[in-house]
Amino acid sequence: MKVAVGGTFQPLHDGHKLLLRTAYGLGGVVDIGLTSDAMATGKRARPVKTYSEREKAIREWVRKEIGIEPHIMKIDDPYGRTLNEEYDYIVVSPETYPTAMKINQIRKERGMKPIAIIRVECVLARDGRPISATRIVEGEIDDHGNLMGRSGDSGGV
């Protein structure tokens, strides 16, 4: 079995970790598509760490939490290898679900079998809103969804 999951993964937060746990939980080989520097910085106003820094963070987390050496590949577009290789599953967030639908549309046009889409819902921060990289970078929450910078709120668990 072959599983695809992808993104910028920066900062690597609890939502990303749930995506990765879900992908590895399906069994088989997991291909992690990590956006290139050009792709990661081209679509964002906020600063993004380099590819090598983001790759190192994912590699260390997967080794520690999953106990294996991850297969990480650089992607320069939203589709990565999913338009050319066979995959059984693609694990996505609500934000990337439309891309997975587009992948299957293109695959169908090319006479390829669709990839089963596993949609993982957002992990919610303590305020009930989704954890997101933007909220973390802006200092609103930490990577676990704890509220930051409010008087009287320790932001702790």
The ranges assigned to domains in the chain are 2-122, 124-157
**pLDDT tens track for 103-128:** 999 999 999 999 999 999 999 999 99
**Residue 45: pLDDT band by 50, 70, 90 thresholds?**
low
∠ CA 64-57-48, rounded to 5°: 160
DSSP state of 66: T
Q: What is the 3-state secondary structure (H, E, C) of 105-155?
A: HHHHHCCCCCCEEEECCCCECCCCCECCHHHHHCCCECCCCCECCCCCCCC
> What pLDDT, on a 0 to 100 scale, did the predictor assign at position 134?
86
Asked if 32 contacts 73 with a C-beta cutoff of 8 angstroms, the reply is: yes
State the pTM of this model.
Answer: 0.90
CATH number belonging to domain 2-122: 3.40.50.620
Asked if 124 contacts 13 with a C-beta cutoff of 8 angstroms, the reply is: no
> What pLDDT, on a 0 to 100 scale, did the predictor assign at position 88?
98
| pLDDT, averaged across the chain | 92
